[in-house]
Amino acid sequence: MNREELNAYNRKRYHERIEYERARREKYYKAHREEKLAYAREYHKLHPDVKRRSQNKIRDANREVYREDSRKREAKRVRCTIGRYDHSPQCTARWKFREAIEHGRIIRPSECSCCHHKGRIHGHHIDYDKPYEVIWLCSICHGKIHRLPN
Ligand SMILES: [Zn+2]
Ligand SMILES: [Zn+2]
């Protein structure tokens, strides 16, 4: 074999090897799928923060996609809650807050106080008894704060 042939041969061997490993992994995964899923479920139950951290990582990597999702969800939520005011502290606080924004008593900043993203900024209530005290956050940081362990 000359050099060219040898290289081609090695490349072929290499790809065959990769293909073989992949097939083997797939077969193994298929055979132990339920077992693995059960293990993962158990693991995440024991370590809730691990899942949260990995979800946050995914969210950070795909911020724009998640922003769009969150905007759609918010629009849907508003559509669904019109005419469904239930007098809970949460509802009252949101209503008072929204009214204050509409009347210009509260100015919505244009920047997230956490990551300084410019765009749609939410007011996050720390205490629903204080409807005018909020933290200003973008949709990503806002989601994160709600997923924090209490
Ligand atoms: Zn942010
Ligand atoms: Zn919030």
Distance 127 CA to ligand 2 centre (A): 10
**Rounded to 10 degrees, what is the CA torsion of 123, 125, 126, 131?**
120
Distance 96 CA to ligand 2 centre (A): 15
Asked whether 122 and 142 are in contact (CB, 8 A), the reply is yes
Which ligand has an atom closest to residue 127 CA? 2
Whether the predicted pLDDT of 77 surpasses 80 = no
pTM to 2 decimal places = 0.51
Distance 41 CA to ligand 2 centre (A): 28
Give residue-wise pLDDT tens across range 14-46.
999 999 999 998 998 888 999 889 998 888 888
Distance 125 CA to ligand 2 centre (A): 5
Average pLDDT rounded to a whole number, residues 64-68: 87
